[in-house]
């Protein structure tokens, strides 16, 4: 089952790290079936274990922003880091969904009317469209939790499992 492509999904560093540690193939599935994945080069540069060659082999599109956007991102914006500010600007300028678990970035995006998504929601959408088995999604979510228990807490994992059960029962 394939679904029509929706908007592009812009990943920030924390989401990329989570899937890099758990199962990078989820991002390939998301790129293919949910909407093209976009990753700013600044995010690639700050994440150990992935580079432009790996992204190219997987078919993940790395975005090299124009100079004016890089300059704009360098201007302070509250508690946002430079890469997070760039993610906000890219999402706003291109109408992309910002996929992040970072609360400051989520709040900044929402204040500008940018659609945001949690990192684990990628798997819920893949299950919903028949591209990922619920059991596999649960296993990957648990691996993400083990690798990142601070941001993907037991409570978040429980809510993910509840939503997974809701989707699976439909």
Angle between the 154-168 and 121-128 helix axes, to the nearest 10 degrees? 10
pLDDT of residue 4: 41
- The overall average pLDDT reported for the chain is 92
- What pLDDT is recorded for position 128? 95
pLDDT of residue 79: 87
pLDDT of res. 6: 57
Give the residue ranges of the chain where pLDDT is below 70.
1-6
Domains parsed from the chain with CATH numbers = 9-117 (3.40.50.1010), 121-168 (no CATH)
Sign of the four-CA dihedral 64, 80, 73, 70: negative
Please tell me the distance from the alpha carbon of residue 82 to that of residue 99, in angstroms, as a whole number.
16
Alpha helices in the chain (DSSP H): 13-22, 25-33, 41-46, 52-58, 67-74, 82-94, 103-111, 121-128, 134-147, 154-168
Look at residue 50 in the predicted model and tell me its pLDDT.
95
Could you read off the pLDDT of 57-88 as tens digits, one per residue? 999 999 999 999 989 999 877 889 999 999 99
- Tell me, what's the pLDDT at 49? 94
Contact 43, 9 (CB under 8 A): no
CA atoms of 133 and 129, how far apart (whole Å) = 10
Give the model's pLDDT for residue 5: 44
């Amino acid at each position: 089952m394939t679904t029509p492509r929706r908007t592009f999904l812009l990943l920030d560093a924390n989401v990329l790290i989570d899937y890099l540690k758990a199962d990078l193939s989820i991002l390939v599935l998301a790129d293919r079936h949910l909407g093209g994945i976009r990753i700013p080069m600044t995010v690639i540069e700050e994440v150990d274990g992935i580079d432009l060659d790996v992204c190219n082999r997987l078919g993940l599109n790395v975005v090299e922003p124009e100079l004016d956007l890089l300059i704009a991102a360098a201007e302070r914006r509250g508690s946002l880091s430079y890469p997070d500010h760039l993610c906000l600007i890219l999402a706003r300028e291109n109408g992309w969904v910002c996929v992040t678990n970072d609360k400051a970035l989520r709040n900044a995006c929402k204040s500008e009317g940018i659609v945001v998504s949690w990192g684990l929601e990628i798997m819920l959408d893949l299950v919903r469209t028949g591209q990922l088995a619920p059991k596999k999604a649960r296993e990957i979510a648990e691996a993400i939790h083990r690798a990142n228990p601070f941001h993907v807490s037991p409570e978040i994992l429980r809510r993910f499992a509840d939503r997974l059960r809701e989707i699976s029962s439909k």
